Structure 1
Amino acid sequence: MESSSFKQSGFLRNHQGAVHVVRLSSSGKYCLSAGADKSVRLWNVEKQTLIKTYTGGHGYPIFDLDLSSSNSQFISVGEEKFAVVWDVQSGRIVRKLGGSSSGHTQRINAVCYAHFITEDSIVCTASYDRTVRCFDLRASNRSSDPIQVLDQAADSVTDVCCFQYEILTASVDGYLRLYDIRTGYILMDYLGPPVGKCCFSHDGNCILASCLDSCLRLIDKSNGDCLAQYKGHVNEEFALHCELTLDDAFVVCGSEDGSIYYWDLTDSVIVQSFYKAHKSTVSCVATHSNFLVSASHDSTIQLWTRNMKTS
């Protein structure tokens, strides 16, 4: 029988202050990170080296970022009311979205690319102002105005993600909201506690949500049923990124006590806990085929490699 466990295999150190987000490239060879020091950093994960630092786009902490499907651009958001689109290779700012009279009125908590029509054509931003705004990157006049505003939330929208023609949002008001762009339908699932982060399963059938009652919930997208709950970590204050592995077999999330937890999807059992892997809150995790990366408020990013064992 073959089993696996993760062991700490490296550090990425260069940020000053909390690291709020880390994202892996599609190949897993590179990652982007950002946080309180107002900069984005590009790393070679295999060599554990810093490649480039992106500065000048933000004057305040960065909360989230997302890579385009081609890995040629990324977009970052934070305390400001606008999103910044960057060219990965040159480090130049391509454009800024929002900031106009029709843009967000408060900080932006989350951002994602959507691929409804063509790749990387639409960007969605979620804000403390209770709205999600959608921007068209193909606009010929390079307008920074949104093409659509989703304003159903009663409190801060903490996360947004997309799958095919659907936009999923999480809010402090305790709701997950699923918008179908083709039909205009809105499905709402009330979870109770404030919802910090959310994501689709890779097959698109389920939704994973991290809530501020120290519980992750797996929701059936078709009917809103709660299929499983995952507990053991501490999550009462911050919106902690959660994720399913590429094969949708495991759930991973950080903890406010510095630990990382790894659950079996179907039976909710903790497969592995990285007890106090960091000295402070683990704000974000990202997984690939045989490793994961974790970002923390302790200013570090850690690399964890899967070791396969045969018994």
Structure 2
Amino acid sequence: MTTATRGKVPTGYADEIAISEHSFRSAHRAQESGSQSLIASKKRKREAKGDSSVVYGANAYKGPWARYELERPEANDSGSGSEEVEVEYEEDEIAEQPVAPSKLGTAYEEDVGEEKETTEFHGESQYDYQGRTYMHIPQDLDIDLRGEVEVKNYVPKKLIHTWKSHTKSITQMRFFPSSGHLLLSAGADGKVKLWDVYHQRDLLRTYAGHTKSCNDIDFSSTGTTFLTASYDRQMKLWDTETGSCISRFSTGKTPHVLRFNPSFTLSHEFLVGTADKKIVQFDARTRDQVQEYDHHLGPVNTITFCDDARRFITTSDDKSLRAWEYGIPVPIKFIAEPYMYPLVRSTPHPSGKWALFQSSDNQITVYATTERFRQNRKKSFRGHNNAGYAIDVGISPDGGIVSSGDSAGWVCFWDWKTCKMWHKIQASDVPVVSTLWHPRETSKVVTGDLNGVIKYWD
């Protein structure tokens, strides 16, 4: 018996009925045959295909996508009246909703355009008494920002500073390579901002050149330049010191993630993962596309270099992980298990043996970056909620503490060895989407939330 209980449905309420399977099938077949005969009885023909040389207007080319005309009297079936009515209808519709030529599918270049880049310096003076800019690593501090990094990290406990200038959500943050005396932040407002981490902790410079949300940034190995990627389908290379835009890149698709090659010999090349399932390799000097890695079945979310930049790992919305040899467009490892969720953010472990991935099922998973690229099932960090947000995962410079934001405004810290949560900080009233450890301090962490507020913890 097939039954239906009374309850709310999109068209109103359904009353409870009871009907046998045989009766239901018979009535269903009768309904289908009646509908088909009714359709067959109607005279339907398509509109005129139009002129293939016309893109816009009453006689625009429709080809096989021409719509079916409505049922008309016999007298108008073969006459010219139906055509006149159809033309008048299209002209009326076009007159009400004009379409700019730049919005046509054939005018993609005009539609995207190149936004004029601007920059603004916010500090008191661009040069100090010795003629040095903010690029100079300060030496009048209690900590040495040069040389080898040897630090033991601890969980931060208190808030020491707050930066507020972005008008929308923080999307990504990066410390200046090695020294960490500058902080670069990108926001959904399309702006990129550079902050002073020491001294007055002021906003130093704003880089504006994207029309939509800036979703990823990455410093070069020297820090003199950095890349930005935006939903306006543009990638731009900026000079950190002057704020000028050096180069522009685009594949025609939205870039989701980009990474400079960390090796010294190939530091001029970078990878970008796009919304059309591809990883594209660019040469920043010539602006040429060097290689294309096309095996994913969904938008690419993360790119993680490993093995001294000879290999890299990518993840995608297709719930898979792929490992590649740099420069060779064929995966050397493919992992896609039934229990896997999309891996939306990643970071390499300082030891170089592991990579941490933020999984969409409220956990942080760990994969080996050595030959087999297997998942370490003994290491899984849970206790936070990340559903619906691409929340960054962080790791302390000594590799001992894992950190992550939370959709409820918490920042969570786990012990790397035991995978137990050590501490939680209520960092915001809205989701914390980014956490980042200072490369040289013992317990300094920055967090960015959905309101565009950056907080510095110790």
Same fold (TM over 0.5): yes
Q: What is the distance in 2 between the residues matched to 1:138 and 1:17?
A: 32
The equivalent of 2:295 in structure 1 is 152
Q: List aligned pairs for 1:285-304, cutoff 5 A.
A: 285-288=435-438, 289-290=441-442, 291-304=444-457
Asked whether 1:83 is paired with 2:83, we answer: no
| Alignment check: 8 A CA contact 2:322 2:331 kept | no
Structure 2 residue 335 is matched with structure 1 residue 189: yes
Which deviations, in whole Å up to 9, do the C-alpha atoms of 1:257-279 show, x marking residues without a partner? 1111111011111111113x112
Q: Which among 234, 244, 253 is matched to residue 92 of structure 1?
A: 244
Q: Taking CA–CA contacts closer than 8 Å with sequence separation of 6 or more, which of the two structures ends up with the larger relative contact order? A: 1
Please, which of 313, 317, 321 is the counterpart of residue 168 of structure 1?
313
Q: Which amino acid aligns with 1:210?
A: Q
Percent identity (aligned): 22
* Distance 1:264-1:94 versus aligned 2 partners, 3 A rule: same
Give the aligned partner of residue 210 of structure 1: 358
Structure 1 residue 292 displacement after superposition: 0.8
Once the two structures are superposed, residues 98-150 of structure 1 have per-residue CA deviations (whole angstroms, 9 ceiling, x without a partner) of: 2xxxx2x43111111003462521111111211111101232xxx3x421111
The separation in 2 between residues aligned to 1:256 and 1:106, in whole angstroms, is: 29
Q: Give the distance between the partners of 1:148 and 1:273, measured in 2 at CA.
A: 43
Deviations 1:46-101 (A, max 9, x none): 2321000011x211010110011111111000102221000011100000122xxx
1:282 aligned to which of 420, 432, 435: 432
Tell whether 2:257 aligns with 1:110. yes
**Deviates further, 253-262 or 219-228:** 219-228
* Structure 2 portions without partners, runs of 5+: 1-152
Runs of 4+ displaced beyond 6 Å: none
- Give the aligned partner of residue 92 of structure 2: none
1:219-248, Cα deviation, whole Å (9 max, x unpaired): 223331324100111111121111211111
Paired residue for 1:309? none
Provide the rounded CA distance (Å) in 2 between the counterparts of 1:96 and 1:3: 40
Number of aligned residue pairs: give it.
Answer: 293
Distance in 1, Cα, partners of 2:160 & 2:457: 5
1:198–1:208 contact (8 Å) kept in structure 2: yes
The answer to whether the 8 Å contact 2:155/2:413 transfers is no
Distance 2:257 2:226 in 1: 13
- SS of 2:292's equivalent? strand
Q: What amino acid is aligned across from residue 272 of structure 2 in structure 1?
A: T
Other structure's SS at 2:157 match: strand
What is the deviation of 1:211? 0.8
For the Cα contact (< 8 Å) 2:156–2:457, is it kept in 1?
Answer: no
Cα distance between partner residues in 2 of 1:3 and 1:44:
23
| TM-score between the two structures when normalised by the length of structure 1 | 0.89
Q: For residue 215 of structure 1, what is the amino acid of its counterpart?
A: Q
The structure whose Rg is larger is 2
Aligned AA (1:273): K
Instruction: Please give the per-residue CA displacement for 1:185-222, whole angstroms capped at 9, x wherever unaligned.
Output: 52123361111011221222111000111100112233
* Corresponding position of 1:69: 221
> Secondary structure of 1:6's match?
coil
CA separation of 1:182 and 1:172: change in aligned 2, threshold 3 A:
closer
- Kindly provide the amino acid, as one letter, of the partner of residue 363 in structure 2: C
Taking only aligned residues, the RMSD between alpha carbons, in angstroms, comes to 1.8
Given residue 134 of structure 1, which amino acid in structure 2 is its aligned partner?
Q
Contact 2:170–2:188, Cα closer than 8 Å, also in 1: yes
CA contact (8 A) 1:115 1:122 kept: no
Q: In the alignment, which residue of structure 2 is the partner of 1:266?
A: 417
The letter of the residue matching 2:285 is R
